[in-house]
Amino acid sequence: MSSQARVQALFNEPACEKNQAKDASTRKKGCSKPLTPGAAAGGCAFDGAKIVLQPVTDVAHLIHGPLACEGNSWDNRGAASSGSALWRRSFTTDLTELDVVMGQGEKKLFRAIREIVEAHAPPAVFVYSTCVTALIGDDLDAVCFRAAERFGLPVVPVHAPGFVGSKNLGNKLAGEALLDHVVGAYEPDDVGPMDVNILGEYNLAGEFWMVKPLLEALGMRVRACIPGDARYLDIAGAHTARANMMVCSTALINMARKMEERWGIPFFEGSFYGVSDTSDALRQLARLLVSQGADRALTGRAEALIAREEARVWRRLEPYRARLAGKRVLLNTGGVKSWSVVAALQEIGMEIVGTATKKSTDEDKERIKKLLKDEKHAFDNMAPRDLYALLASGKADIMLSGGRTQFIALKAKTPWLDINQERHHPYAGYDGMVELVRQIDLAIHNPVWAQARAPAPWDAPTRASARPAESGAETIALTRRKFAATAADELGEC
Amino acid sequence: MATVLPVAKAASVNPLKSSQPLGAAFAYLGVAGAVPLFHGSQGCTSFALVLFVRHFKEAIPLQTTAMDEVATILGGADHLEEAILNLKTRTKPKLIGICTTALVETRGEDIAGDVASIKSRRAADLEGTEITLAQTPDFDGAIEEGWSKAVTAMIEGVARRGTAARREESRVNILPGAHLTVADVEHVRAMVEAFGLEPVILPDISGSLDGTVPERWIPTTYGGTSVEDIRTLGEARLTIAIGEHMRAPAARLHELTGVEYSLFRQLSGLKAVDRFVTLLGELSGRPAPASIRRRRAQLQDALLDGHFHFSGKRIAIAAEPDLLYALATVFVGMGAQIHAAVTTTSGSKILEHVPCETVKVGDLGDFEALAEGADLLVTHSHGRQAAERLGAPLLRVGFPIFDRLGGQHKLRVGYQGARDLIFEVANIFESERHEPTPESLDPFRNRESEHERRPASAIGRH
């Protein structure tokens, strides 16, 4: 399939809620909004594809292109591995001018695959195209096919050059690569009625490890968590699972739907962020498994676990109520995943003073209206300048967002917490919610804010600065008087 | 005299390089009121932006022409024009610094022609904003090359040409290389000013990337070289270029304005700094101030105290050519040996002067293989994987440093920087020292092995 056809097919995704709402002509135009040169932000399709596939831990990820695509971006995500560290090694063909001019790209790629196989013997190699190699017409499929034949291992072509579109499109193209080349390539010999897949879970900061034991306590087995902490054979055998949970809906919806089509695996969309969503996810997984023939008692066991865990998590969150009630949160991230977090924050008395709705569907927006006191606080997309103004004027006690807007908050001297992919703390499951609230508490109550916001003594509106004409000696005397009452340990805190 | 070994393999493993357009953008970021603009797909910008942010922990102004599939096929001139006009209206920059990427350079467009035509057709709209172009495809060069090209582009595009009617006797142009940190640039400025001279530094990242908290939101860089200062580069008495990769811009400035230049390959060794101080003395007609003499004496003492720790140590370095040269020279000057030297590109003339037998053009995969048995690894943060696997300590230098704070405030030039560097490295060796054990000193141990490691660390004791 040509890459144009592949992209068109993705724009037609029937399981996508947003897509269903469109008529035929808007659908054909695709999902990606046209970018404004000089005012664009965000990654490209290659970035998106790599985000989805790179956490697959035992695979060699080889980027076919000039240096920047990989050289400027490797080892930059906080996914965690319980086994191989090969995914953190960076492989690129680092094309030179001569390679491009002389058309040596394909040969270099083939040799690169050979070198990797000889040095690391991975179970598979994933090969990514980039703008330049797509433009000069390197036949990625042919090279991968030949290499797979010659070296006797799967070599998977991933077609997501940057110029085809956004990061989100790249996520989906990565899903297509897995569907076309990986899922179904291996038949595990231990298939069972309690096998599930989790799609679109990245295991950031190892957070899936806070959820997996819950599933295992119910007797479920995670056949594949894609891509977080996945190994090649997990994904290759993922078609044998009985149920799919789709975590990051925008990323891999095409994969969930096609797995249902091809292998009859039912799926649902859920989240492990927040108390109620975690419980819901457990419930749904149990329901789907039972519908696929698992023991009916599973439902009851799930409810018992949920009741026990929910009671525990609320008990653990209670001490934070006194410290956080009335604090105002600005949520600058799109998408559905944040909603159950919001519910939990409100439960302990925090207030949501604003939220971005850029990535939200109409249905999401309805939910937002219900959650927010004032629907004016939902904004589509805020310019950095406006965001800065809002934070600098003290209208929020903390902003939760991704790294991109981190420094807007910090320069406005406002507490900030990373809730996107670069973060270092695990927030999934019941324990994750407690961790999130703990981190919010730590951020808001850090003594640094008072220090950072205080003006320099000579800028402060005191008597000393009100009289700039004072002679040096007088100022010193004044300063001495000012500090006379200051205890030594107070100074030590500065 | 080192032999430079070229790349001999197809798969680059753990890249050492950052891309050439990133280097160009880096230089533009040292100009006040600037916005660098990548001409390419939005990922090119996004990756570079994220890397800058990880290194500096700052909001970084960096924009993209956002080439899509249609523009890739039909040509990107419209996108370039739209981007420039959008930037002009939204951020009112003093300078838009264009850096081309591999995508548009592979297409082979006449980008210089596009820029010239946009500038002339839109002259009225673009009033008050300089636009410069550095052609920096990713498939060539690395940070040094990009940085050097951007500085040259600013000299060619902004500096007033021709011999200035009047030279300012006290004015000195400083062209620092990409390997100087914010602290280095600040220190160079202070040294020059200590002689009563007035330095104009291009680019001056110490004004723009030093991490301050402005009281309002600014969409461009704040601080750095002013465009007006670039315009009057030709009025200086002399240009001082620091690093071999700054020879090209210094020479170009000489061609265009007649200002002579003096090149310093590095500013981290005693002799090099002596030469620098002597030059400043000659230019100003003043003796070296007491504070600088004092620093020199401190460095002398650091050399004496520090050499015990360096003697016989094997140090492996992976860095861009000029940084590699500077560090290797200092370490060898302290009695250490360069166990492995890996660099990004083969083009620099400085490489043959690196005090070791071979310099390998390659990546951190090569570095890891060559550095086996080294006492210290010296490279940027991506060297952490190699350090972990080899069990050797890592000194983080260059770009990017994303897993340590304050990389930009590390001073490594001047007497003071050399002193601090010696102490820093000696302390690493000190903390890695192993207590002697009967096993490690057993004369019958490892007879068949050529690598007897432990005696080297015993030398480090006083």
Q: Which residue of A has its CA nearest to B85?
A: A38
| Nearest beta carbon to residue B138 from set A68, A108, A111 | A68
- The CATH class for the domain spanning B20-140 reads alpha beta
pLDDT at A489 over 50: no
Residue B335 gets the label, from left (phi > 0), alpha (psi -120 to 50) or beta, of left
Comparing A5-19, A253-267, B219-233, which segment has the lowest mean pLDDT? A5-19
B 117-156 residues with CB < 8 A to A: 137-140, 142
A470 or A129: which leads in pLDDT: A129
The pLDDT tens digits for A269-314 are: 888 988 988 999 999 999 999 999 999 999 999 999 999 999 999 9
Give yes or no for a contact between A69 and A184, defined as CB atoms under 8 angstroms apart: no
In chain A, residues with a C-beta closer than 8 Å to the C-beta of B77 are: none
In chain A, ranges of CATH 3.40.50.1980 domains: 40-181, 325-423
Quote the CA–CA distance of A247 and A421 in Å, as a whole number: 14
Contact (CB, 8 A) for B77 and B426: no
Minimum mean pLDDT range among A211-215, A293-297, A383-387, B99-103: A383-387
Just give the CATH number of A325-423. Answer: 3.40.50.1980
**CA separation, residue A321 to residues A350, A355, A436, B133 (Å):** 8, 22, 14, 56
Structure tokens at B105: 């350079």
Contact between chains at A39 and B63 (C-beta distance less than 8 A): yes
DSSP run (H or E) holding B389: helix B384-390
Q: Determine the distance in angstroms separating the CA of B359 from the nearest CA of chain A, rounded to an integer.
A: 19
Closest by Cβ to B140, choosing from A38, A96, A164: A96
Burial of B462 (0-12, 13-18, 19+ CB in 10 A): exposed
As a CATH number, domain A195-313 is: 3.40.50.12380
Q: What is the pLDDT of residues A392-434, one digit of tens each?
A: 999 999 999 877 788 889 999 999 998 876 678 899 999 999 9
Task: Tell me the mean pLDDT in the region A357-376.
Answer: 65
Q: How far is B446 from chain A (nearest CA, A)?
A: 28
Per-residue model confidence (pLDDT) at position A483: 45
Query: Which DSSP helix (H) or strand (E) runs through B342?
Result: strand B337-343
Which of the two residues, A408 and A92, has the higher pLDDT score? A92
- Which A residues 397-426 touch B at CB under 8 Å? 403, 406-408, 411, 413
pLDDT of residue B460: 37
CA–CA gap between residue A195 and residue A224 (Å, rounded): 9
Q: Give me the CATH code for the A40-181 domain, please.
A: 3.40.50.1980
Report yes or no: B14 at the A interface, CB cutoff 8 Å: yes
pLDDT of A25: 65
Residue A376 burial by Cβ neighbours in a 10 Å radius (0-12, 13-18, 19+) = exposed
Contact A163 B86 (CB under 8 A): no
Confidence at residue A78, expressed as pLDDT on a 0 to 100 scale: 83
The minimal CB distance from A72 to the residues B9, B47, B216 is found for: B47
Residue A42 in contact with partner chain B when CB distance is under 8 A:
yes
Q: Which of A39, A100, A164 sits opposite B90 (nearest CB)?
A: A39
User: What pLDDT, on the 0 to 100 scale, is given for residue A418?
Assistant: 87
Section A443-457 average pLDDT? 91
Residue A465: what pLDDT? 46
Phi, psi of B248 (to 5 degrees): -60, -50
Contact call for A37 and B86, based on CB within 8 A: yes
Q: Show me where the domains of chain B are located.
A: 20-140, 171-293, 298-441
The total of other beta-carbon atoms located within 10 Å of residue A8's CB is: 14
Strand partners of residue B395: B378
pTM: 0.89
The CA distance from A89 to the nearest CA of chain B, in Å, is 6
- Same topology for domains B20-140 and B171-293, yes or no? yes
- What one-character DSSP code corresponds to residue B7? P
**B398 contact partners, CB below 8 Å, separation of at least 6:** B179, B319, B320, B323, B379, B380
| pLDDT tens-place string over residues A163-198 | 999 888 999 999 999 999 999 999 999 999 999 999
What kind and span of H or E run contains B35?
strand B34-39
**A76-85, A478-487, B222-231: range with highest mean pLDDT:** B222-231
Query: Could you tell me which chain A residue has the CA closest to the CA of B400?
Result: A72
A40 to chain B: which residues are within 8 Å by CB? 42, 45, 63-64, 66
Our CA-based measurement puts residue A19 at a distance from the nearest CA of chain B, in whole angstroms, of 22
Would residue A185 be called left, alpha or beta, if left means φ above 0 and alpha means ψ between -120 and 50 degrees?
alpha
Reported confidence tier of residue A30, pLDDT bands at 50, 70, 90: low
Mutation site, A33, A72, A109, A114, interface B, largest B CB count within 10 A: A72
Q: Could you tell me the CATH superfamily of domain B171-293?
A: Nitrogenase molybdenum iron protein domain (3.40.50.1980)
Interatomic CA distance for residues B340 and B158, integer angstroms: 41
Task: Give the fold, CATH level 3, of B298-441.
Answer: Rossmann fold (3.40.50)
Strands A91-92 and B12-13: antiparallel
CA B29 to CA B48: how far, in whole Å?
Answer: 13
Q: What is the mean pLDDT of chain A?
A: 86
Whether B377 contacts B392, CB under 8 Å: yes
Across the range A211-229, mean pLDDT stands at: 96
Name the helix (H) or strand (E) containing A416.
strand A416-418
Total beta-carbon pairs less than 8 A apart between chain A and chain B: 211
Per-residue pLDDT tens listing for chain B (462 residues): 799 999 989 999 999 999 999 999 999 999 999 999 999 998 999 999 999 999 999 889 999 999 998 898 889 999 999 999 999 999 999 999 999 999 999 988 899 999 999 999 999 999 999 999 999 999 999 999 999 999 999 999 999 998 877 888 999 999 999 999 999 999 999 999 999 999 999 999 998 898 888 888 888 888 999 999 999 999 999 999 999 999 999 999 999 999 999 999 999 999 999 999 999 999 999 999 999 999 999 999 999 999 999 999 999 999 999 999 999 999 999 999 999 999 999 999 999 999 999 999 999 999 999 999 999 999 999 999 999 999 999 999 999 999 999 999 999 999 999 999 999 999 999 998 888 888 888 888 877 655 545 444 434 334
- Whether pLDDT at A41 is above 80: no
Task: Give start-end residues of each CATH 3.40.50.12380 domain in chain A.
Answer: 195-313
CA distance A461 to A151: 75
What pLDDT score was predicted for residue A470? 46
- Separation in Å, CA of A134 to nearest CA in chain B: 10
Give the pLDDT score at A57.
96
- Beta strand A351-356 pairing with B238-242: unpaired
Using a CB–CB cutoff of 8 Å, tell me whether A74 touches chain B.
Answer: yes
CA distance B236 to B233: 6
Tokens of A275: 């108390």
Q: A95 and B139: CB-CB below 8 Å? A: yes
Instruction: List chain A residues with CB under 8 Å of B380.
Output: none
User: In the prediction, which pLDDT does A21 show?
Assistant: 63
Please compute, for residue B225, the number of CA atoms within 13 A of its CA located in the half-sphere on the CB side: 31
Mean pLDDT, rounded, for A453-472: 64
Q: What is the pLDDT of residue A289?
A: 97
Point out the residue among A62, A100, A408 whose CB comes nearest to the CB of B11: A62
pLDDT of residue A17: 63
List the 106-135 stretch of A: residues with Cβ below 8 A of B: 108-116, 119, 131-132, 135
